[in-house]
Amino acid sequence: MAVNLDAFASRFLLQDKSVLIVCGKAENITLHKTVTSTRWPWQAAIYRTANGVKENSLRKGAWILICSGALVNERTVVVAAHCVTDLGKTIVLKTAELKVVLGKFYRDDDRDEKTIQNLRISAIIVHPNYDPILLDSDIAIIKLLDKARISSRVQPICLSSSQDLTSNTEDLKIVVTGWKVLADIKDPRYKNDTIRMGAVRMVDSLLCEQQYEDNGIQVSITDSMFCAKQDHTAFSNICPAETGGIAAITLPGKASPELRWHLMGLVSWGYDKTCSLELYSGYTKALLFKDWIEKNLK
């Protein structure tokens, strides 16, 4: 049963109610120097079966990494809706076509074989307002058939709403994390490639629309989206648009001033053929969907 997150300082109770699971706690995080050893315990890797994919390098029955999601409790992962639907449509993929992997760090699954959890899916809930053309309300919930085993490597992220923000949104330092989805397994660096991260800052919606228009792309920034560009002052080894990653911010807890990581957004759209610090990416504003997410936590 879901609990009131505000009353319990954004924590979740285990089913037996004897152990308290703390959300949003990650260690060894710094944004001002090169750090590639950070593990983000709520990062979920979303895989789709390769059946039907016409590519010689993929064997039948193989799994393809397509997106990242955010674990919010033992049976719930939040993900962009476009990751779990047919391209340009609202048709939801079959649960058997997808799986969730937790505890992952390296891009190469073989490097994490002792720590990862391969979990089956029981249901996929796409937001009723999802527009696959505009990518408005680009958010969905994956319900896990197998309960996630909480450990130092697998923990939920906290949820928050816009009312929880204490500073101007343009001053927020947002961290985006994810794996490079279109990785070349023949690249000698592939075996050591890990989850990537970078800091971004929100930018004005009109500036974002104008930049895309200047590049021959028409976009409309709705209330459920935000645009951001990479922060020049922070370490980054990520191109947000090619990761299908998640965006998080730190906020103080309800019962303690200790900072916890909260889900801010989901990478929704961006430039697919180039990567530059000056280019903007579009995100689903997950803060607006807190109530909807909580309704589907059971």
Catalogue all structural domains in the chain, each as residue range(s) with its CATH number: 43-156+290-295 (2.40.10.10), 162-287 (2.40.10.10)
Mean pLDDT for 159-182 is 83
Per the CB < 8 A criterion, the answer to whether 50 and 61 are in contact is yes
- CA–CA distance, 272 with 131 (Å, rounded to integer): 20
User: Of the ranges 35-44, 53-62, 277-286, which one carries the lowest mean pLDDT score?
Assistant: 53-62
Length of the chain counted residue by residue = 298
Predicted local confidence at residue 7, as pLDDT: 31
Q: How confident is the model at residue 10 (pLDDT cuts 50, 70, 90)?
A: very low
Burial label, 128 (beta-carbon count in 10 A; 0-12, 13-18, 19+) = exposed
User: What digits encode the pLDDT tens for the residues 114-170?
Assistant: 889 999 999 999 999 999 999 999 999 999 999 999 998 999 999 998 888 866 777
User: What digits encode the pLDDT tens for the residues 61-114?
Assistant: 689 899 999 999 999 999 999 999 998 999 999 999 999 999 999 888 788 778
Burial label, 195 (beta-carbon count in 10 A; 0-12, 13-18, 19+) = buried
Grouping H, G, I as helix, E, B as strand and the rest as coil, residue 292 is helix
Most confident of the following: 58-62, 177-181, 242-246, 273-277: 177-181
* Predicted TM-score (pTM) above 0.85: yes
